[in-house]
Every structure is written in structure tokens, then in C-alpha cells.
Amino acid sequence: MPIQHPPTPARDGDILPLPPNAPRVHRSRFAQWLGRSILKMGGWKMVGEFPDVRKAILIGAPHSSNWDGVWGFSALLALGLDLRILGKKELFWGPMGWLMRVLGVIPIDRSAPGGFVAQSIETMKNADAIWIGLAPEGTRKKVDQWKTGFWKLAKGADVPVILAYFHYPDKIIGIGPTIEISDDMAADMAKIREWYAPWQGKNRGTA
């Protein structure tokens, strides 16, 4: 049986529309054209539908290749979506710091009280609108256990989790369901892992 991708609303071309409350970043027409062109040349398209929310955690899997970054960043350029990434503060020095900020990376001091999760929760609570992107596998290698930081962050900040995926056989970047975190981390993680089971990255799946 063919894999069923999420339903997609009406759109213009292969790029999904952003809903009114999704955070945006100003992109030049050239940047948007470049993102669209890279995806088109690679044969990639987007399916699914973004939720109309001001704050969210967006997780992406399977992450099995550096090519994921090429297609993912091209999609962000084309969309104009302001998706933030969390990075250790040590990356923010000199020219590297400028590049990190251009890419939308938020500096996190892992040695501060509460560590990564507490600082990230505070960042989300203080923002008017923010989507943070995380790779729950934490590595390009196959892992049995996913990182639980995204669950703790979503729970602590009281924001939903958007399930996004790569499916290389069909060259699809997909936006799946948006879920509300419960009080049962194990049950939530199992449900999320089950949803990701059909999708195949460049070098592996998640199951």
C-alpha cells in the first residue's frame, strides 16, 4: 500500500502557505527565489499544513544526512518562516556569532542554573511569537531512544509540538499533525515515534 502523506491545502506551487500567526522573517525576493529554485532543482516539494499558532516546537526526523540541512534551509528561505534553533553560547564569538544570529540561532548557556531546558522555556515564555526547531534523534546515526528535551520544553512552556519529516523516496518535506503534550512523557514519545515510522531519510528511517 502506498504511503499516505498528510493532506495539503490549496497553494501556489510547491511551497506551503504560512498561516497568519506563524512567525515570519523578512526575506528578500532573491532569497525566496533561491530557496524555491534549490528545492525545484532537487525535485523536492512540501506537503501538509502549518498550524495557526504563535508559539510551537517543531521537530524534524529522520535526520540521517547533511543533505537534510540543505533541503530544510532551502525550504525556510522559500517560506520566510522564522524558525529558531538553539545553540550553545560558545558558538557566538567573532564572525561566527554574526552568522549564528543571521541563521536565527538562540544562544544557550548550558552551565546556567536549570541548564538547557530551563533557559529555553524562559526564552519561549518571554517571546511574543516563536517557533523553535529541534532534531529529537540528536544525531545522524540510528538511535533507539530519542532525546526528550523537546517534550520537556513543550511541557514547560505550554506549547504544542509540530511533527515535520523528510521522506526521501518521494522527495517530500512534510508537515504532519500538531500535538498537545500530555502528562505522560512515555506515552507521548511512543505515539510520536509510531507516527514517524513510515518516513525514510536518505540513509535510514526512524523505526
pLDDT tens profile 25-44 = 988 899 999 999 999 999 99
Omega cis (within 30) before 169: no
Flag the least confident range among 41-45, 136-140, 148-152, 167-171: 136-140
Q: What pLDDT is stored for residue 115 in this prediction?
A: 76
Q: Which residues of 4-38 are buried (b: 16+ CB within 10 A; e: fewer)?
A: ebeebeeeeebbbeeeeebbeeebeeeeeeebbeb
Q: Residue 86 burial by CB count (10 A; 0-12/13-18/19+): exposed, middle or buried?
A: middle
Q: What pLDDT is stored for residue 119 in this prediction?
A: 86
Q: What pLDDT is stored for residue 99 in this prediction?
A: 67
pLDDT tens profile 78-134 = 999 999 987 767 666 777 666 667 667 777 776 666 678 888 899 999 999 999 999
Give Cα 163 distance to the centre of its chain. Answer: 8
CA atoms of 136 and 152, how far apart (whole Å): 12
Q: What pLDDT is stored for residue 13 in this prediction?
A: 66
Q: What pLDDT is stored for residue 91 in this prediction?
A: 64
Region 44-64 average pLDDT: 96
Q: Which residues contact 122 (CB under 8 A, 6 or more apart)?
A: none
Give Cα 40 distance to the centre of its chain. Answer: 20
Three-state DSSP class for 143?
coil
Percent of the chain at pLDDT exceeding 90: 65
Is residue 37 within 8 Å of 70, Cβ to Cβ? no
Report the relative pairing of strands 161-167 and 172-179 from DSSP bridges: antiparallel
Q: What pLDDT is stored for residue 140 in this prediction?
A: 86
